[in-house]
Structure 1
Amino acid sequence: MTRITIVTDAWYPQVNGVVRSIENTNRELTRMGIEVSMITPQDFSSVPCPTYPEIRLSVASYSAVARAIEKFGPTSVHIATEGPLGLLARRWCLKNKLPFSTSYHTRFPEYVAARFPVPIRWLRAFVRWFHNAGNGCMVATASLERELSKLGLKNLLRWSRGIDQTLFHPRPLEDNPFGLPRPIFMTVSRIAVEKNLPAFLDLDLPGSKVVVGDGPERAELQRRYPHVLFTGMKTGEDLARAYAQADVFVFPSKTDTFGNTILEALASGVPVAAFPVTGPVDILEDGAGAGALNEDLRQACLDALSCPRDNARRLARNFTWEAASKQFLNNVLIAQGRKALPGRKGSFRALTS
């Protein structure tokens, strides 16, 4: 029996790509008969992260994390984040000689450097130190794999993402959604400096702009862009309905490692406009007219307006959590030195064919 302990510093009440990826993967692993235990900030006292109080940093001792791991008795440990809990779990695995896997969800060096005066070369050295101690580091895309390989990360394994297509799907279009004239250019994002939202909000576009989400930069951006609708955070059915009313989904970030919101938009039948960077380029480059990539984001937005909504929905069908979770499990087995499951080798697209 495979028993996996997943350790993450990102968990509820945060709502982000890391949390959603782990949550959906856990659900699919359980369906496959895999036992999973979680070690998250909910298990410990925490303090707000400086400059980003919505993120809580766990105040946990090594012995507390060790007890949590040992109580479950996992055959595998997967460390999802490079935060306090991830560091303590890494220490336990090395001390007990249990091979472990990690994942690179966010551009840790760039995110920290954007908030604190720390040389980025030090942060990149930390990332190498953290992940190379493990037996496999999971990355979402081919372009990210190439990028991290150049930075000296080893044992890179591909773990793509999926989308809940029963929740996110096309819906009838309203004449004036949100009480605004079309076309509706929308982004769904954590409102933080690394998301590069002004690159979207500064654009001269027809129709209306809508920002769904919350974060530390929201008040300032609402002040600077009074003609943009900021809806606040939406989840579940409310979020899915909002997506489906957009004419174009705009993804201005240049620092995301994948972009789960891109899949949510595509599944909702909404074409995507983005910069040709890691994440968007991996999803959309061969997307058969499901969106537009351009260094000129305004041109990408205008080009995406003419993309058929059926193309977006068709591309989204390539991404399922069942296939992505089988890929995750296969990577865990490889990191443990065990045989890969039959038929699980290869790219994400191979898994879905």
Structure 2
Amino acid sequence: MTPRNVTGISEFLLLGFSERAELQPLILGLFLSMYLITVFGNLLIILAVSSDSHLHTPMYFFLSHLSSVDICFTSTTVPKMLVNIQTESNAITYAGCITQMYFFILLVGLDDFLLAVMAYDRFVAICHPLHYTVIMNPQLCGLLVLLTWIVSNLNSLLQTLMVLRLSFHGKVKIPHYFCELNQMVKLASSDTFLNDMVLYFAAVLLAVVPLAGILYSYFKIVSSVRRIASAQGKYKAFSTCVSHLSAVSLFYCTSLGVYLSSEDTHSSHSRVIASVMYTVVTPMLNPFIYSLRNKDIKRALKAFFRITAVKWPLVFGPRRPHG
């Protein structure tokens, strides 16, 4: 099958949240604030992990990758929406829409698989603590991240090629603030049966399989924790999973809620609002979820800022005049 562009159009229109002019400054300010918090918060996680040798462990290795993906995930959709609001234009080029869709699908897949890999890491740490360093060696950690990139890239490439074979005619209006795959397929004027089949297969691969792995890991974790005699030991073992469980629940509940809800019970506007939860809110909250209860992250950030505060005057301080 050869990908072909037979659309006859050069751009799409992103309808966004509201066409009311008086609401645009509010939407602009709200999403700009959330975007900046997301980028800054996840950057802090990455800096903390990279600057502290005590955090060079599998758990924080995966967490830093998740933070990097979350920054890219939000950057795929929000900046374009902010530019459109600022310029009072809803247009996005055909090439821009396809590119945005490719990276969005890629990063959603990476989020899914990284959350599953992190659940496996917690499973090994709690259920096989004596063999943890042997099992979760640097080679396996690198291989797991590499596999998530390969599978997510292949899925994203396949989905994009499937959209490229579709034809679009007239003034295509996408009832969303980004080029969402489901909406693109629905708006096509050609047969979409093959696209729907590939979409369902990808949903099983990217949602059901990782989620099943996460549920199985935590089933085994709960079984192991119940066998611990002391209450303090149970609390210590399970407290290491609270942050990850919170992130998993937030991501999957919101994303599955959007895609499993029927069109009859949710208007397209409601689905757009719901999509914000997993595309913007979840990446913004992840740094808080992983750092508020984490003493290691707090300690690493304090040390980082302390070192920065000492070095800053030395690098940028005023120079004494010669002579």
TM-score under structure 2 normalisation?
A: 0.28
TM-score under structure 1 normalisation?
A: 0.26
Higher strand share goes to which structure?
A: 1
Compare CA radii of gyration and give the structure with the larger one.
Answer: 2
Higher helix share goes to which structure?
A: 2
